[in-house]
Amino acid sequence: MRISELSRHSGISISSIKFYIREGLLPTGERSQRNQAQYGEDHLRRLDLIKALREVAGLPLDTVRAVLEQADRPFGDGDPIGTANAVIYPVPERDRSESEREGYAAIRVEVEALMLGLPWAVDDEMGVRLLNIDLITDAITQMRKYIDPEFPVDQIVRLAAVAWHESEIVFENAEDRVPRPGDDFVEPVRAAILGTLLHEQLSNALTRAAFASRSLRISLGLKPPPVE
């Protein structure tokens, strides 16, 4: 297809497509004539991924480039989807005092032990990275600093069980989108990132609704219903 068709099918302007090509985010088309190039389904899939990263995730170009680099890696060369998610969800950099750093390190040891003890944990380098141990440690550290100084680390075991159940619901109809050897990673990465972002938005909205409803029921003296 010509660039005008690529623009129409992708919903991205010709000027933006040319910009992505100049920036190295999109491969150049195959020259068919002196001033014309042909584009294929690979270009369309890649534009869909770029569009999702820009519009849904709201990522800057440098981060988009880093995610695309992961999508271009061959199967078996590390973990493209996990690394792409790590690019999107970096561990926050915080200024901590020496005592805070010691406290963080102690919490991390406990978090790692608990997470690796989960029945669904994968005990290897890739599995440890996918467990988001540093993000969880940071969240608990902030929780203790601002909400509850005694927040128990072992609370994450029950929360992890809820998270695993959520993943089961999401993956019920996603088996055909799980990458296999020889697959093009652009579409699986796009589906995985969009699925994570959109499910996170839905899950957060439901969690806020549950928190607000439980708080209201308690304030009204109403007994919370049993969990089904």
pLDDT digit string, tens, across residues 156-176 = 999 999 989 888 887 776 655
pLDDT at 25 > cutoff 60: yes
Within a domain: residue 193? no
Q: What is the mean pLDDT of the chain?
A: 83
Region 52-67 average pLDDT: 84
- What pLDDT was estimated at residue 55? 83
Our count of domains for the chain comes to: 1
Take residue 18 and report the two structure tokens written for it. 């040319």
Within a domain: residue 115? yes
pLDDT at 218 > cutoff 60: yes
Nearest C-alpha neighbor of 24 from the set 68, 56, 88, 59: 68
DSSP H or E run through 196: helix 186-219
Nearest C-alpha neighbor of 143 from the set 189, 180, 103: 103
Nearest C-alpha neighbor of 194 from the set 23, 70, 54: 54
| Stretch among 93-97, 179-183, 190-194 having the lowest mean pLDDT | 179-183
Cα–Cα distances (Å) from 3 to 13, 28, 40, 117, 210, in that order, read 10, 10, 10, 52, 48
CA distance 222 to 151: 26
Q: What percent of the chain has pLDDT over 90?
A: 35
Contacts of 24 (CB under 8 A, 6+ apart): 65
One-letter amino acid for residue 112 of the chain: E
Within a domain: residue 43? no
Within a domain: residue 151? yes
DSSP H or E run through 208: helix 186-219
DSSP characters for 73-122? SPTTSS-HHHHHHHHHSPPPP----HHHHHHHHHHHHHHHHHHHTSTT--
pLDDT at 129 > cutoff 90: no
| Stretch among 23-27, 33-37, 44-48, 204-208 having the lowest mean pLDDT | 33-37
Per-range mean pLDDT, top range of 49-63, 64-78, 136-150: 136-150
Within a domain: residue 68? no
Within a domain: residue 126? yes
DSSP H or E run through 21: helix 14-22
Within a domain: residue 104? yes
Within a domain: residue 119? yes
Q: Which residues form the domain of 99?
A: 76-162
